[in-house]
Amino acid sequence: MKIIVTGAAGFIGFHTCLRLLDEGHNILGIDNINDYYDITLKSSRLLEAEKFAKSKNLDWKFIQASIEDDLTINKIFLDFNPQIVIHLAAQAGVRYSIKNPKKYIHSNITGFFNVIDICRALNVQHFVYASSSSVYGGNKKLPFMELDPVDHPVSLYAATKKSNEIIAHSYSHIYKIPTTGLRFFTVYGPWGRPDMAPMIFANSILNGEPIKVFNNGQMKRDFTYIDDIVEAIIRCAKKPALSCKNFDELHPNPSISNAPFRIFNLGNSQPIELMDFIEILEKELGTKAIKEYSPMQIGDVKETSADNQALKDWINYSPSTPLKLGINKFAKWFKSYYEF
Do 129 and 264 contact (CB within 8 A), yes or no? no
One of 36, 129, 136, 157 is an active-site residue; which one?
A: 157
Do 220 and 274 form a contact (C-beta atoms < 8 A)?
Answer: yes
Residues whose CB is less than 8 angstroms from the CB of residue 278 and which lie 6 or more positions away in sequence, other chains included: 201, 211, 213, 289, 291
Measured CA to CA, the distance from residue 266 to residue 133 in angstroms comes to 8
Domain ranges, ordered by start, for the chain: 2-187+224-269+305-320
Triad 158, 159, 165: Cα angle to 5°: 95
β-strand pairing of 272-273 with 220-221: antiparallel
| 8 A C-beta contact, residue 128 and residue 245 | no
**Backbone dihedral angles phi then psi of residue 252, each to the nearest 5 degrees:** -70, 135
Q: CB of 211 within 8 A of CB of 200?
A: yes
Angstrom distance (rounded) from CA 335 to CA 338 = 5
Q: Which of 75, 153, 151, 164 minimizes the C-alpha distance to 111?
A: 164
Residue 169 DSSP SS3 = helix
E strands in 55-178: 60-64, 84-87, 126-132
CATH architecture of 2-187+224-269+305-320: 3-Layer(aba) Sandwich (3.40)
Nearest to 334 by CA among 207, 228, 217: 207
Report which of 203, 206, 226, 229 is spatially closest to residue 329, judged by C-alpha positions.
226
Q: pLDDT in tens for each of the 340 residues of the chain?
A: 999 999 999 999 999 999 999 999 999 999 999 999 999 999 999 999 999 999 989 999 999 999 999 999 999 999 999 999 999 999 998 888 988 999 999 999 999 999 999 999 999 999 999 999 999 998 989 999 999 999 999 999 999 999 999 999 999 999 999 999 999 999 999 999 999 999 999 999 999 999 988 888 888 999 999 999 999 999 999 999 999 989 999 999 999 999 999 999 999 999 999 999 999 999 999 999 999 988 887 767 889 999 999 999 999 999 999 999 999 999 999 999 999 9
Cis check: omega of the bond before 143, within 30 degrees of 0: yes
H or E segment at 75?
A: helix 70-80
Q: Where are the beta strands (DSSP E) in the chain?
A: 2-6, 26-31, 60-64, 84-87, 126-132, 179-184, 187-188, 210-214, 220-221, 224-225, 261-266, 272-273, 290-294
d(CA 125, CA 137): 31
Instruction: Assess whether 136 carries a catalytic annotation.
Output: no
